[in-house]
């Protein structure tokens, strides 16, 4: 089955995206998803403004935070027809050596919409059926959410979910989240949902204040405190909560050079540094600190599709709030929205919704 569709194509960095009509046809093992919403991620801005190279040659439709309904299916995938789904931001092949060894994040045959294949800033997208995350629309409605709202689960929520699991967060843990806009805000909520006491660090007092009702015990502005001041404040908070001043879990979610330097400067004995945000900027650090503190640093690329249902369950159960941190805009306003997000005129995570 072929579906008449359209998408917004990036033709070159900083050039206006152009609307293109195409026919969406699923090949073997694929389905066509009618997009309900697609989130605008920091990674998309990196491709568009910073010259980060996409694996697929331009022109390319960006967008990898996608939710929608399956409207066409190839033979053998018909069971997905009509179902509401979230499309994983990174879809591993499931068959290669890394995949079979439990390292699907480094699968060299993985497909990322808006990077390896055409993305979700479109009316429809063709994707592999394998790994799709089903969404219970009745529970979605009970939670006061629209299908478009949970598009951000595909990256902004699942990526920090994996980071929290890999760091080993549990009751009695101290989690320090640097950068609480977007991904970092969800990281703070997920860490709290796993029983951690959470410290949020940002340069924006408005963002810090917005996180206070969602499991954050202490907020610190890194423009108001130097590295030593931040470390002292966190140590005092840990003591007040009956937690050790060692073994901190530090999540760098800002994707900025200052944020990464702040994160590295907060290493303590036995610390775990989880790098979640991305920047093209370089930082200079003393790697021997990892040795001296017997600490570890972990990179986090996407999230395995098998972890999506558990992540979505946190959202549907109300343990992670999405609605207060997203706002919907029409897909046809994509060029204006990109500019506004890039210049920080929009504080929330934008979800672009195609017209009917």
**What b/e readout covers 194-213, taking b as 16+ CB neighbours within 10 angstroms?**
bebbbbbbbbeeebbebbee
Q: Region 255-266: what's the mean pLDDT?
A: 97
- pLDDT tens, residue by residue, 275-300: 999 988 999 999 999 999 999 999 99
What ranges do the domains of the chain cover?
3-155+303-353, 158-299
- pLDDT tens, residue by residue, 81-99: 999 999 999 999 999 999 9
Q: Which residue has the tokens 């001043």?
A: 245
Share of the chain above pLDDT 70, in %: 100
Q: Which of these, 346, 333, 329, lies nearest to 39 by C-alpha position? A: 329
- How far apart (Å, rounded) are the C-alpha atoms in residues 58 and 13? 10
- The CATH architecture annotation of domain 3-155+303-353 reads Alpha-Beta Complex (3.90)
- How far apart (Å, rounded) are the C-alpha atoms in residues 26 and 73? 6
Beta strands in 173-315 (DSSP E): 174-178, 197-202, 216-221, 249-252, 272-275, 296-299
Q: What is the CATH number of domain 158-299?
A: 3.40.50.720
> In this structure, how many other beta carbons lie within 10 angstroms of the beta carbon of residue 104?
22
- How far apart (Å, rounded) are the C-alpha atoms in residues 190 and 104? 22
pLDDT at position 337, please?
98
- How far apart (Å, rounded) are the C-alpha atoms in residues 180 and 186? 8
Alpha carbons within 13 angstroms on the beta-carbon side of residue 12 total 1
- How far apart (Å, rounded) are the C-alpha atoms in residues 232 and 348? 31
Q: Region 23-46: what's the mean pLDDT?
A: 96
pLDDT classification of 356: cutoffs 50, 70, 90: low
Q: Which residue has the tokens 């410290």?
A: 199
DSSP reduced 3-state for 287: coil
């Amino acid at each position: 089955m072929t579906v008449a569709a359209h998408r917004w194509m990036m033709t070159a960095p900083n050039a206006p995206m152009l609307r293109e009509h195409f026919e969406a046809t699923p090949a073997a093992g694929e389905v066509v998803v009618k997009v309900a919403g697609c989130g605008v991620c920091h990674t998309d801005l990196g491709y568009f403004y910073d010259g980060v190279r996409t694996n697929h040659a331009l022109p390319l439709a960006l967008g990898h935070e996608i939710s929608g309904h399956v409207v066409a299916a190839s033979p053998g995938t018909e069971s997905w027809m009509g179902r509401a789904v979230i499309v994983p931001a990174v879809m591993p092949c499931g068959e290669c050596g890394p995949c079979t060894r439990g390292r699907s994040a480094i699968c060299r045959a993985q497909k990322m919409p808006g990077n390896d294949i055409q993305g979700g800033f479109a009316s429809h997208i063709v994707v592999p059926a394998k790994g799709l995350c089903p969404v219970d629309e009745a529970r979605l409605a009970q939670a006061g959410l629209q299908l478009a709202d949970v598009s951000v689960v595909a990256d902004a929520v699942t990526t920090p979910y994996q980071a929290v699991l890999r760091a080993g967060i549990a009751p009695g843990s101290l989690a320090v989240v640097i950068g609480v806009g977007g991904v970092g805000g969800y990281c703070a909520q997920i860490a709290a949902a796993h029983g951690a006491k959470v410290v949020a660090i940002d340069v924006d007092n408005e963002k810090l204040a917005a996180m206070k009702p969602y499991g954050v015990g202490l907020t610190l502005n890194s423009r108001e405190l130097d590295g030593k001041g931040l470390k002292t404040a966190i140590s005092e908070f840990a003591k007040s909560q009956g937690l050790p001043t060692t073994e901190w879990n530090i999540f760098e979610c800002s994707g900025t050079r200052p944020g990464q330097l702040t994160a590295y400067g907060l290493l303590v004995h036995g610390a775990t540094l989880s790098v979640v945000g991305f920047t093209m900027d370089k930082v200079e650090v003393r790697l021997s600190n990892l040795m001296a503190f017997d600490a570890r640093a972990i990179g986090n690329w996407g999230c395995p599709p098998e972890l999506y249902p558990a992540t979505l369950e946190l959202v549907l159960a109300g343990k992670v709030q999405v609605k207060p941190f997203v706002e919907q805009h029409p897909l046809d306003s994509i060029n204006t929205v990109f500019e506004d997000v890039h210049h920080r005129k929009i504080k929330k995570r934008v979800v672009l919704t195609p017209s009917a």
